[in-house]
Amino acid sequence: MLSICSASHDPFFNIALEEFLLHNRTQDFFILYINDPCVIIGKHQVVHREVNTEFIDKKKIPVIRRITGGGTVYHDRGNLNFSFIRQSKTGRQVDFRLYTKPVIDFLNTLGVKAIFEGKNDLTVDGLKVSGNAEHVFRERVLHHGTLLFDASLEDLKQSIKIKTDTYSTHAVGSNRSSVTNLKGRLRNIDSIEKFLMSMLNYFVYNIPDIQTYNFTKEDLSSVQLLKESKYNTWEWNYGYGPPYTFTSWIEINSKPYYCKLVVRDGIIWESEIEGDEEINAAGKKLIGCRHMYFDILKKLREEKIPITEYEVYRFF
């Protein structure tokens, strides 16, 4: 197995790195990385259903869609991410317990009794500290997970939407759980950097013949290309998600209106805003727009609808 400790905090790069190694290499990898603030959604999720769009826009927190399934997670510099990419046998490829067991064993060496719960979580004292997801590509598996060390639990809470009943969709939903950080629970570990090195050293010591992988210029160029062509695009992060219908009462200029938007590939295909003739007509103009804040704001302003920037977020 080859080990990688990514020096980049760019979440677009690190997510692209995982896919590149999964698709273009045959070796087994163990990877650790720490991302700048971002929200990572599962492959089959609807962004606006899972994410507090207003909060992340104001905080300038990017949303990135990964290739694995599962629910939405928040990353920042207080969150340690780990990945396993391995060759596997057909029929035995999806195995969350297999890949989380060494992580549990590692935490146990630091005095923390973590347990596997549900489908893909690690918990401590009943509180979630790690979410995990997997993706199978031919004879290879990507398993990655989070470890909350000293993440901003307030930003985590604010970034992920709790009320989702305005959305009708077959998309995968997130399992909202109570979470906690590991900082303060670990022996002699008081920084995310020490936590990373401790985990890296544990795996280097416990995995036979593990070696450090050094990137070539071609590797870095390929990962950068994948980052720009896929992970840094609206089409992948927002447009790829499953179709959905958004229905809600919204308020414009202190007057309530009933709104229904049918969205496919991130584009509004049907739009109904019931209230008066002016808003009804303006609502039809949303057809063909992306279901995005600035697109809706621009179109309604063009139609002379006296809507505030705050009120536009009610369309999400």
- Per residue of the chain (316 residues), give pLDDT as tens: 999 999 999 999 999 999 999 999 999 999 999 999 999 999 999 999 999 999 999 999 999 999 999 999 999 999 999 999 999 877 667 788 888 999 999 999 999 999 999 888 999 999 999 999 999 999 999 999 999 999 999 999 999 998 899 999 999 988 888 999 999 999 889 999 999 999 999 999 998 889 999 999 999 999 999 999 999 999 999 999 999 999 999 999 889 999 999 999 999 999 999 988 999 999 999 999 999 999 999 999 999 999 999 999 999 9
Q: Which of 9, 5, 22, 32 is nearest to 215 (CA)?
A: 5
Q: In what order do the strands lie in the sheet with 167-169?
A: 167-169, 244-252, 255-264, 267-274
DSSP β-ladder status, 79-87 and 140-148:
antiparallel
Instruction: Say whether both 279 and 203 belong to one domain.
Output: no
Here the tokens at position 270 are: 């049907």
* Domain extent at residue 271: 244-315
Instruction: Say whether both 172 and 252 belong to one domain.
Output: no
Instruction: Say whether both 155 and 17 belong to one domain.
Output: yes
Instruction: Say whether both 118 and 58 belong to one domain.
Output: yes
Under a CB-based contact definition with an 8 Å cutoff, are residues 3 and 204 in contact? Answer: yes
Instruction: Say whether both 151 and 289 belong to one domain.
Output: no
Under a CB-based contact definition with an 8 Å cutoff, are residues 83 and 29 in contact? Answer: yes
Here the tokens at position 175 are: 């399992």
pLDDT value at position 91? 66
Instruction: Say whether both 188 and 100 belong to one domain.
Output: yes
Instruction: Say whether both 121 and 97 belong to one domain.
Output: yes
- The one-character DSSP state at 163 is -
CATH code for the domain in which residue 299 is found: 3.30.390.50
Instruction: Say whether both 80 and 158 belong to one domain.
Output: yes
pLDDT value at position 115? 96
CATH code for the domain in which residue 161 is found: 3.30.930.10
Give the whole-angstrom CA distance, residue 196 versus residue 106.
12
DSSP, collapsed to helix, strand or coil, labels residue 148 as strand
Give the whole-angstrom CA distance, residue 136 versus residue 86.
10
pLDDT value at position 254? 87
Give the whole-angstrom CA distance, residue 294 versus residue 272.
19
Instruction: Say whether both 139 and 25 belong to one domain.
Output: yes
Count structural domains, the chain.
2
Instruction: Say whether both 76 and 215 belong to one domain.
Output: yes
